[in-house]
Amino acid sequence: MTAHDASRAAASRLREAGVPEPTASAEVLLSELLGARRGDLRFRREPLSREQSKAYEAMISRRLDREPVQRILGYAYFRNLRLSLGEEVLIPRADTESVVEAALERIDLRDGACRVLDLGTGSGAIALAIADERPACEVHASDVSEAALRIARRNAELNLDRSERVAFHRADLVSGLEALAGDVDLLVSNPPYVASAALAGLAPEVRDWDPPLALDGGPDGLDLYRRLLAETACLLKPGAEVVLEVGDGQAKEVLCIGESAGLRRVGARPDLTGTLRAVILEKKGS
């Protein structure tokens, strides 16, 4: 069977089984397996080898079990990075790229050189993208999960010219970050923000494969924002900014939580679909 025929047959099996984005799943898995560009699959007329067919079949059967494409591959693309994954980290989302963009804008308004903290770094997506795209910044990344930090450190080695450009900290919110007290110019975070009761209704790709620690935001999804905004003020320099990813419809409430914690609201930025995705706040007193 040619690559083109194999991906079409796989796409129709996935479609019949009700798997979302069947064509994209089938094509991305095969193109990554073959090291080919997705758009070139249709021109590849040579038959797949026996090993390739076997490996592709194994991938498709995992996708039929609703395992996400990135977990089957073991990596995800995020801005300029290819990030290794493990079961302990969230798959970095396209939505979060717009949060990185908001952070980069704030960095540029501060002439590019500042001390940045990515709190709840997971795979390292936000911290590593900032270190990669704004080399003058001093970047710190923290997570409560030691397993996630191991993956993030590995991703720094795989993606940055000098992995020591990012300092990693095991910390439960601020507990463990005392060394940064009063020194952070920009705090960025994509905290867990799904309401606990909504977890069971998430798509199987998320519910069964992303770690609960990365998703569960408590009864109304806002627990981590309340704790984070109340506790991290001591880390921020006067005039420092906070850029937070928020879930659909959470921007207004998170801005209010920030104001109650004594911060000034700067605004909210939409993602590519027009949904408000990044909330920006500032510590008073610059």
Using CB under 6 A, which of 69, 103, 116, 126 touches ligand SAM?
A: 126
Closest CA relative to residue 47, chosen from 38, 59, 39, 56: 56
Does residue number 157 form part of the binding site for ligand SAM (CB under 6 A)? no
Q: Where are the beta strands (DSSP E) in the chain?
A: 75-78, 81-84, 115-119, 138-143, 166-170, 184-189, 236-245, 263-270, 276-283
Does residue number 145 form part of the binding site for ligand SAM (CB under 6 A)? yes
Least distance between ligand SAM and beta carbon 96 (Å): 4
* 267, two tokens: 């605004």
* Angstrom distance (rounded) from CA 218 to CA 220: 6
Q: Which stretch binds ligand SAM (CB under 6 A): 22-30, 62-70, 187-195, 234-242?
A: 187-195
Does residue number 173 form part of the binding site for ligand SAM (CB under 6 A)? yes
Site for ligand SAM in 95-124 (CB under 6 A): 96, 120-123
* Angstrom distance (rounded) from CA 285 to CA 278: 23
Using CB under 6 A, which of 6, 79, 185, 192 touches ligand SAM?
A: 192
Q: Is 128 exposed, middle or buried (0-12, 13-18, 19+ CB in 10 A)?
A: buried
Q: Check: CB of residue 228 under 8 Å from CB of residue 173.
A: yes
Q: Is 192 annotated as a binding residue?
A: yes
Using CB under 6 A, which of 26, 148, 268, 280 touches ligand SAM?
A: 148
Does residue number 221 form part of the binding site for ligand SAM (CB under 6 A)? no
List contacts with ligand SAM (CB under 6 A): 89-90, 92, 96, 120-123, 125-126, 142-145, 148, 172-173, 190-192, 213-214
